[in-house]
Structure 1
Amino acid sequence: MTQHTDEQPPERGALVYDPVACKAGEYQDRAGPYVMLRPVGGGREWQADPALIRPATPAERLSAEVKAANERAGRAL
């Protein structure tokens, strides 16, 4: 898988994996030297190194989506 460069940032909302945080998130935008990612389903954004993020694998996507669904179900109780 290719990592993103400054010349080719992901599209807003694209699901990427941050190996430092060990989780997938939706690409939001650039903020100074970092990119901002948000958990699938919403939540607090975090900063990531744009040189390290990469597209999320199918397994990482599924894991992030299941986690978001479980959190939504927990709020509905």
Structure 2
Amino acid sequence: MVDTSRADRVGEFRGVAGPYWSLRPVCGGTEWEAAPEHVRPADPGERLHANNARCNARSRGDVL
């Protein structure tokens, strides 16, 4: 999912928290909440970029 209110930040959908959706960075990190009207599905290029970033983080031994 892409949060358009945060410079098109890509995250995985984690659930609903009241009126907001919880998203988590693909490479790990702190979840954030976004209004559903500011969230859209990631296009194939955005998904590829996020998955590559995740693989690179994993190869460096970063915590996911």
TM-score scaled by structure 1?
0.69
- 2:5 is the alignment partner of 1:20: yes
Q: Where in structure 1 are there 5+ consecutive unaligned residues? A: 1-15
User: Which of the two has greater helix per residue?
Assistant: 2
Post-superposition Cα deviations, 1:17-64, rounded to whole Å, max 9, x if no partner, equal: 111222211111111221100122432111111111111000110111
| Alignment match, 2:21 | 35
Aligned equivalents of 1:62, 1:70: Cα separation in 2: 12
SS in 2 for 1:37: strand
Letter in 2 for 1:27: F
Q: Over alpha carbons, which structure has the higher Rg?
A: 1
Aligned equivalents of 2:39, 2:16: Cα separation in 1: 12
User: Which of the two has greater strand per residue?
Assistant: 2
Misfit runs of 4+, over 4 Å: none
Identity %, equivalent residues? 44
TM-score scaled by structure 2?
0.81
How many equivalent residue pairs?
61
